[in-house]
Each structure stands twice: as structure tokens, then as C-alpha cells.
Amino acid sequence: MLPSAGVIIRLATRSTAKHTIPPRILIIIVIYIEGLVFRYFVKKEQDFILFLMVKKFLFS
């Protein structure tokens, strides 16, 4: 079972409290992991590109 985005973000914010990882890099890592998971389940290149575009729009 893969951890949800909420769990990843919660772990991320806990580690950023110690200033180990910059939040911006952390968000990129989370998006990358979510992208890999999404791609694994969908396995359609066009849908994956659309997913990335939506992510970029939401986080811009």
C-alpha cells in the first residue's frame, strides 16, 4: 500500500521544521512521486502529460 499525498506532506513538513530540505524541492519531489504512481496506474503517455500540466497549473 502506497502512502497518501497527505502522509508524504506531513512527513515533509516535519523534516522542513529542521530545515533539512527546502520546501520548494520537497514539493517537486512529492509531485514527481505522485507522477510516477499515476503513470504506473494509468500507463498512458497523453494522460500523464495532462496530469503534469494540471499539477503545474495548480502549483504555479
Q: What is the pLDDT of residues 27-60, one digit of tens each?
A: 888 888 888 877 776 666 666 777 778 888 777 5
C-alpha cell at 50: 495532462
Number of domains observed in the structure of the chain: 1
pTM as predicted:
0.34
pLDDT value of residue 49:
74
Domain of residue 53: give its range.
Answer: 5-59
Burial of 26-52, coded b for 16+ CB within 10 Å and e otherwise, reads: beeebbeebeeeeeeeeeeeeebeebb
DSSP result, 1-15: -PPPHHHHHHHHHHH
pLDDT value of residue 56:
80
